Amino acid sequence: MCKAALLVLALVASAYAEELVASVLLTPDPAFKEKNVTGTLKIVQSVANGPVTITGSVSGLNKDGVHGFHVHAKGDLTQGCKSAGPHFNPEKVKHGAPEETVRHVGDLGNIKANAEGVAQINITDTMISLSGPNSILGRAFVVHSQEDDLGKGNSTVSQETGNAGDRWACGVVGIFSPEGSWPNSASSLQQTGFVLLLSTTTYFIKVLAN
């Protein structure tokens, strides 16, 4: 009986602890190939509905430059970065800063390059996800030529894109791990955990009753 109970508890723990990991290979837009902006990103969501961490680096940027960094709506790069569409914005709200509650889901602000034109990235965001309605899986990261003004400019472009300029590099968010099926929604892992937890509770009630 004890072994069975431990097995169920282990399944509950694994349902809640399932970590989703995605990766991105950033490559130059064909129109700006001479810039040779490249990079790699690792995207981790350790808990369902939890924060997402983005780490990695981007090279080929302006020395000490500040560049807009966003998730765009589509993973279509057939015509370069321009075919990735607008910022990922399922709520149809105005552009904003990452820390603001009213912003595009894909608004991740800016990345800052060092004197060699390399930006080290370590971002934690609570709005993007790797599952559910705000999932960025299959969408595209884009690195822009200019600084994102975070929607603070007095123009329509500022309100829509942060006036971040051209799209120098982009890459599609792909599955890294687990290799099997991913949850269809951000709540599915929690639902699985709830069912297993209910099973565990029922089991112990029966044990105590005997």
Residues labelled catalytic: 70, 72, 87, 95, 104, 107, 144, 167
Q: Which residue, chain included where needed, has tokens 């149809």?
A: 92
Cβ atoms 69, 108 nearer than 8 A: yes
* 55-to-16, 23, 75, 121, 185 alpha-carbon distances in Å: 23, 10, 20, 5, 24
* 24-to-1, 31, 57 alpha-carbon distances in Å: 46, 20, 11
**Which residues does 48 contact at the CB level (< 8 Å), separation at least 6?**
16, 18, 131, 183, 186, 187, 188, 189, 190
